[in-house]
Amino acid sequence: MKLTFLGHGYVGLVTATIFADLGNTVYVIGHTKEKIDNLKKGILPIYEPGLQELVQKNIKAGRLIFTLDYKPAIPGSDVVFIAVGTPPKPSGEANLSTVFEVAKKIGENLSGYTVISVKSTVPIGTNRKVKEIINNAKANKAEFDVASIPEFLREGSALQDTLNPDRIVIGAESEKARQVIIDLHKSITAPLVLTNLETAEMIKYASNSFLATKISFSNAIAKLSEITGADAIQVLDAIGLDKRIGKEFLQPGAGYGGSCFPKDVKALISIAKSYNYKFSLLEEVENINKQARQDIVKKATKLLDNPEGKIIGIFGLAFKSNTDDMREAPSIDIINALKEKGAKIKAYDPQSMNNAKGLIKDIEFCKNIYEVAKGADLLIVATDWNEFKEADLVKIKNSMRTPLLIDGRNIYSPEKAKEIGFTYIGVGR
C-alpha cells in the first residue's frame, strides 16, 4: 500500500518504519526542515532501541520517504495516519490544534479513496471532528473514511510492541475502511477489536488510565507497607499471581511519568467533567502519583537531616529506562524540590541528558554513575536502567562522602546494599 504519516515522534516514526519494513511505500510528512533533512540522512529526532538501523535500511530500500510537502504524499495514499502530539492544555484537556491543522491540509490534498486513520490519542468525538474538517477542506470529489486506530506501543520496546501487539483496535464507520485497515495489518498477528469511532477513542484513555491506577495502587500499598512493616514487593507479587489481577504494572516507585499516562489521566478526568461526571477515582490516582515523587524528597530530607549544601547524585533522568523521553519524568520534580532545599545535584542518564539539559537548570551532568557518586552525600535512583542494576556498588559506596542510598525504583537488593555499608531506603520495603 501507499501510506502517509503525519508526525515522526515515538508513534509516527516507529509505525511508519515498521509498515515500510513490511513492504509498503511510506511517506512521512514533517514540519521542521532541520528534522526532515536529518531524517533523510537516517538521523532520528528520538531514541528508540533498534529504530535507527531499521529507518536507515528502509530509506535505502526506497520504501521510507521523508518530506515537508503534502503533494507527493497524500494524493493516492491508501491510508493517511495522523500521529501528531496531543499535549495537555493547562486545564488538562487535550490540545488538538495540531490534529486539526494537519486534517485540514490532508483534506486539501486528497484524491481517490483514502482512509484517514487517527493514531494520536484523542478525546471521544475527535474523529468525527476530523471528518468534518476534511470534508470542509476537500475541493474535489475525493472520497474518504475516518478510522480510529489507537496506539498502545511502549517507548523502549516500541518496535516489538508494534509487531506483536496485545490487540489491534479498529474503530471505523464503514466496512470498506475497516477492510483496508485489516488488510494493512494482515502480517501482524493479534486479536482484532472491531468497533465504532467513539469506543476506539475511549479504549485508549481507559487503557492508560487503568494502568496508571495500577501504579498508584501499588504506590499506596507501598506507603502503607512502609508504615506497617509489610514488604510491598512481596504483597504485590503475591496479589499479581491472581489471574484476575495480573503481575504487570504492580511495581511501586517514584510514580508514573512520560508523555502518556499523566496527560491521558488528566484528559479523561477532563472529558468526564465535560459530561458532568466527576471521575474521583482518577483524581486520587493523580494525587497518589504526586505523593510518590514527594515521598522521595521527604525521605531524602529526613536522611540528610537538612539537604542544604549537600551533594545529591541522581541515577537516571528519563521517565523510564530505554528511552530518552523526559516528558513528565519524576526526576524533574524530585531534583527541583531538592534544589529548592539548597542541595547541589549531580546526575547521569544514558540517553536523556540532551533533553534534560533543556528542562533542568543548574545541575551537574556527569559522564557516568561513578562520577555522580564521587563525593556525594546521597544517591537517588530515579530510573531503572539495566546498566545501573549491574553497577559496582562497592566502588560507588567507597567514593561517596556518606553512603546513603534511596532506591526510587527498587532495583537493588536491600540486604546486599546494607551488607556493602549503605544506609538503604527503597519504596515499600
- Letters for 210-229 (x = contact with ligand NAD by CB under 6 A, - = none) are --------------------
Query: Of the candidates 304, 328, 320, which has an alpha carbon nearest to the alpha carbon of residue 405?
Result: 304
How far apart, in whole angstroms, are the C-alpha atoms of residue 42 and residue 52? 7
**Cβ-based nearer residue to ligand NAD, 134 or 379:** 134
Nearer to ligand NAD, 86 or 209 (CB): 86
Contact by Cβ (8 Å): 168, 193: yes
> Which residues, including other chains, have CB under 8 Å from residue 119's CB and lie 6 or more apart?
7, 11, 12, 15, 81, 82, 83, 149, 150, 151
Count, in order, helices (H) and strands (E) of the chain: 17, 14
Q: Which of 191, 189, 195, 120 is nearest to 153 (CA)?
A: 120
Per CB under 6 A, which region of 5-13, 128-136, 352-360, 384-392 contacts ligand NAD? 5-13
CB of 354 to ligand NAD, least distance (A): 15
Q: Which is nearer to ligand NAD, 210 or 423 (CB)?
A: 210
Residue 85, beta-bridge partner list: none
Q: Is there binding between residue 379 and ligand NAD (CB under 6 A)?
A: no
Q: Count residues near ligand NAD (CB under 6 A).
A: 24
Beta strands 168-172; 192-195: pairing state: parallel
| Of the residues 21, 145, 151, 286, which one makes contact with ligand NAD according to CB under 6 A | 151
Q: Verify binding: residue 124, ligand NAD, rule CB under 6 A.
A: no
Query: Rounded to the nearest whole angstrom, what is the least distance from the CB of residue 131 to ligand NAD in the complex?
Result: 18
To the query of whether residue 260 is one of the catalytic residues in this protein, the response is: yes
231-270 residues in contact with ligand NAD (CB under 6 A) are 259-260
The residue within the footprint of ligand NAD, chosen from 3, 10, 226, 404 (CB under 6 A), is 10
Residues 6+ apart with CB under 8 A from 312: 300, 304, 338, 343, 344, 345, 346, 376, 377, 378, 379, 380
281 exposed, middle or buried (CB, 10 Å; 0-12, 13-18, 19+)? exposed
Is the Cβ of residue 94 or residue 296 nearer to ligand NAD in the bound state?
Answer: 94
Q: Is 355 in the site for ligand NAD (CB under 6 A)?
A: no
3-state secondary structure of 265: helix
Residue closer to ligand NAD (CB basis): 27 or 315? 27
224-253 b/e (C-beta count within 10 Å ≥ 16 → b): ebbeeeebbbebbeebbeeeeeeeebbbbb
Q: Give residue 182's identity as a one-letter amino acid code.
A: I
Site membership for ligand NAD, residue 7 (CB under 6 A): yes
Question: Based on CB atoms, which residue is closest to ligand NAD, 282 or 343?
Answer: 282
Q: Which is catalytic among the residues 3, 122, 220, 260?
A: 260
Min CB(258)–ligand NAD separation in Å: 7
User: In whole angstroms, how close is the CB of 152 to ligand NAD at the nearest point?
Assistant: 6
Pick out residues in 68-87 that bind ligand NAD (CB under 6 A): 83-86
Asked whether the beta carbons of 170 and 183 are under 8 A apart, the reply is no
CB of 151 to ligand NAD, least distance (A): 4
Rounded CA gap, 174 and 115, in Å?
10
Q: Which of residues 93-112 bind ligand NAD (CB under 6 A)?
A: 98, 101-102
Q: Quote the least distance from Cβ 161 to ligand NAD, whole Å.
A: 9
* Residue among 8, 299, 310, 409 that touches ligand NAD (CB under 6 A): 8
* Other Cβ atoms within 10 Å of 411 Cβ, number: 20
Instruction: Pick the closer one to ligand NAD by CB: 36 or 236.
Output: 36
3-state helix, strand, coil in the chain (%, to 5): 45, 15, 40
Q: Residue 398: CB partners within 8 Å, gap ≥ 6?
A: none
Cβ at position 242, least distance to ligand NAD in Å: 28
Please report, as ranges, the residues that interact with ligand NAD according to CB under 6 A. 6-12, 29-31, 83-86, 98, 101-102, 120-121, 151, 153, 155, 259-260
Q: Which residues are catalytic?
A: 260
